[in-house]
Amino acid sequence: MSTTCAVYRRTASGGGMCALLLAGLLLAGCERPPMASTQQGYRGLGMVQVTDPRLPQPANNAVPAPLPHAQIAPGSPLAGDTFKNVQVLKDVPSAEFARLMVAMTTWVAPQQGCTYCHAGSDLASDALYTKVVARRMLQMTRHINSDWGKHVGTTGVTCFSCHRGKNVPEYIWFKDPGPAHPSMTAGNRAGQNAPSPVVRLAALPNDPFTTFLQDPTEIRVVQEVALRQDGSMGPSIKNTEQTYGLMMNITQALGVNCTFCHNSRSFFDWDQSTPQRATAWYGIRLVRDLNMNFLMPLHAVFPPNRLGPTGDSPKLDCATCHQGVHKPLNGVSMVGDYPELRGAAPAPAN
């Protein structure tokens, strides 16, 4: 190194070139993996998703190996004929029914085992609320796979999609009651300016979920006409802020930015949006459906410790399944190994 510097000192009239060379060598030793970019839309519009491999990747995306299938002969007994009080999976062969129960235990209650849902040796009993909830969740899973293909496609979902080995999925939400004692000097925060991690720490409304993922509220905020004929003013600035709060949450849930779905030159224009926007449109309505028709009606079943600070049922949002990636479990399908969760019994082996 000293010889090299001496040469540069003689040829560059001072130590400037030596310092430059040293800085270059140091920087060369600090090389990092390059950013990866994926074009999502028309070139020149900035519709690119940039991935930084240096950032920690979302955890819990490892898919467990499927359990081996049982040999099912034609005419094998079905679960509804073999076991007592089977209400959802009656059409599944008994051996595959038992296989699915073992899989569900590893997906939802790996520490507690069967007794998380079943009361001791009486497997038919509905004494534990967890069994009543699990039955409803099985119905919900079949409903998603059978009726919401426009969002989940053929990939489908299983209990593991949300639970990832935990009794309660990591990402659920309750109605946000806001600050317990708002500052009199700071004024009323009007449900925002917390800031909240739910909206990526922005000064946006802290509960975009109740408005859009529970209630069927219209999300569009851009006027379609210059002067409304009905005399109303249309969406307000607060409506717009609520929409942005939901959009910020979705980007966080999927690990993407706005141009994953939208063309930033015209956010509202469907003709200039990516196909992912249509998938997300169905996803929002899927979440509403599940919250309103499956989770909220379980309110009387959940014990007080499973309810929110205002006494509401646990509900889901996009992060419940996605957990930081735009394709849950990085796009790996588990439902193919458990076809009974699609809503139809597996065909007998030949």
CB-neighbour burial class of residue 212 (10 A; exposed 0-12, middle 13-18, buried 19+): buried
- Asked if residue 236 has pLDDT above 60, the reply is yes
Over range 191-213, report the average pLDDT. 88
Are residues 151 and 196 part of one domain? Answer: no
Residues 133 and 271 occupy one common structural domain: no
The b-or-e profile of 74-104 (16+ CB within 10 A means b, else e) is eeeebbbeebeebebbeebbbbbbbbbbebb
Nearest residue to 249 (alpha-carbon basis) of 278, 211, 293, 289: 211
What is the arithmetic mean of pLDDT over 164-180?
89
pLDDT digits (tens, 9 = 90+) for 288-340: 999 999 999 999 999 999 999 999 999 999 999 999 999 999 999 999 999 99
Residue 58 included in any domain: no
With CA atoms as reference, report the closest residue to 53 among 36, 30, 78.
36
The Cα 78–Cα 90 span in angstroms is 6
pLDDT at 347: 46
Same domain, 175 and 156: no
Question: Do 304 and 176 belong to one domain?
Answer: yes
pTM of the model as a whole: 0.84
Are 340 and 289 part of one and the same domain?
A: no
Q: Are 143 and 77 members of one domain?
A: yes
Residues 175 and 158 in one domain: no
For 7-24, what is each residue's pLDDT tens digit? Answer: 434 444 445 666 666 566
Residue 141 included in any domain: yes
pLDDT for 348: 44
Task: State the average pLDDT over residues 196-216.
Answer: 90
- Nearest C-alpha neighbor of 341 from the set 82, 145, 106: 145
**Residue 286 in domain:** yes
- pLDDT tens-digit profile of 253-296? 999 989 999 988 888 889 889 999 999 999 999 999 999 999 99
Average pLDDT of the chain, as a whole number = 85
What's residue 127's pLDDT?
95
Q: Does 27 fall in a domain? A: no
Query: 181 by DSSP, 3-state: which?
Result: coil
Among 151-165, 205-219, 321-335, the minimum mean pLDDT is found in 205-219
Domain check: are 221 and 301 in the same one?
yes
pLDDT tens-digit series, residues 30-43: 566 777 788 777 77
- Asked if the structure places residue 139 within a domain, the reply is yes
Note whether 192 and 156 are same-domain residues.
no
pLDDT, mean of residues 108-129: 94
**Secondary structure tally for the chain: helices H, strands E:** 11, 2
Do residues 150 and 204 both lie within one domain? no
Same domain, 248 and 259: yes
Residues 6+ apart with CB under 8 A from 175: 207, 209, 210, 308, 309, 310, 312
Element holding 38 (H helix, E strand): strand 36-39
> Does residue 44 sit within a domain?
no
pLDDT number for residue 283? 97
Contact 141, 158 (CB under 8 A): yes
Lowest mean pLDDT among 26-30, 45-49, 202-206: 26-30
Q: Please check whether residue 61 lies inside any domain of the structure.
A: no
d(CA 98, CA 256): 39
The verdict on 175 and 318 lying in the same domain is: yes
Confidence check: pLDDT of 147 > 60: yes
Q: Residue 250 above 80 pLDDT?
A: yes
Domain range for 162: 67-168+333-350
pLDDT, position 56: 74
Burial (CB count within 10 angstroms: exposed 0-12, middle 13-18, buried 19+), residue 253: buried
18 domain-assigned? no
What's the CATH code of the domain at 119? Answer: 1.10.468.10
How many domains does the chain divide into?
2
More confident site: 125 or 121: 125
